[in-house]
Amino acid sequence: MITSIQGTLTSASALQAIIELNGLGYEVNVPVTTAERLPLPGTQVKLHTLVIYREDAQTLYGFTSAAELDFFRLMIETVTGVGPKLALTIMSRLSLPSLESAIRSGDIATLAKCQGIGRKTAERLIVELKSKLGGSGPAADSATGEPGGPRGNHRDAVGALIALGYKAADADEAVRRAALSLGPDASTEALIKRALS
């Protein structure tokens, strides 16, 4: 099992990265939310990975954080009708904090806006994952184990933009871009200000 890959990023697109390691180039399928955080080609990168073996293919999926990989694995192993391609599509549309928040709050409308997901699949995501995410309480931050933290700040900033009238997916994208420019430890207020500018 390949659990991570670290090497030189030779090229990247919205859904794929090529990482060279020991003279071999590995094709890694990534969600847009991971592709946004990849460094420039020619630099070192590390991705947390999962290999899925099929009769006719071996496909490598990669994520910038272990929490994203765990959520991807949880979706494909738990939710009926959600395979790797659909899970990657879902994670390309919404960041992990927004996905977790939508599932915890039972926000079918936000989930159903992901390409390839209808109302029934959105309902299945909520029903089959809500208990595994710890119900309706705030998520523990992956880095600190405490409620809030960088993921909590992201979630709070998205919530504030939604309260201002943004659509959930647009709010999530604006906050993701703000986090890219401000860094992973940006406060909720800083994320909101940058997203609105």
| Mean pLDDT of the region 152-170 | 83
How far is the C-alpha of 141 from the C-alpha of 146, rounded, in Å?
5
Q: What length is written for the chain?
A: 197
| Weakest-pLDDT range from 13-22, 68-77, 151-160 | 151-160
Q: Which span out of 63-72, 119-128, 130-139, 178-187 was modeled with the highest average pLDDT? A: 63-72
Whether residue 64 is predicted with pLDDT greater than 50 in this model: the reply is: yes
pLDDT at site 90: 93
Mean pLDDT of 150-154: 76
pLDDT category at 183 given cuts 50, 70, 90 is: confident
Tokens of 120: 């029934």
pLDDT value of position 26: 96
Rounded to an integer, what distance in angstroms lies between the CA atom of residue 100 and that of residue 131? 11
Residues in a beta bridge with 60:
28, 51
What CA–CA distance (Å, rounded) separates 19 from 45?
8
Considering the entire predicted model, what is its pTM? 0.74
pLDDT averaged over every residue in the chain: 86
Q: What is the pLDDT of residue 79?
A: 92
CB atoms within 10 A of CB 99: 25
More confident residue, 151 or 100: 100
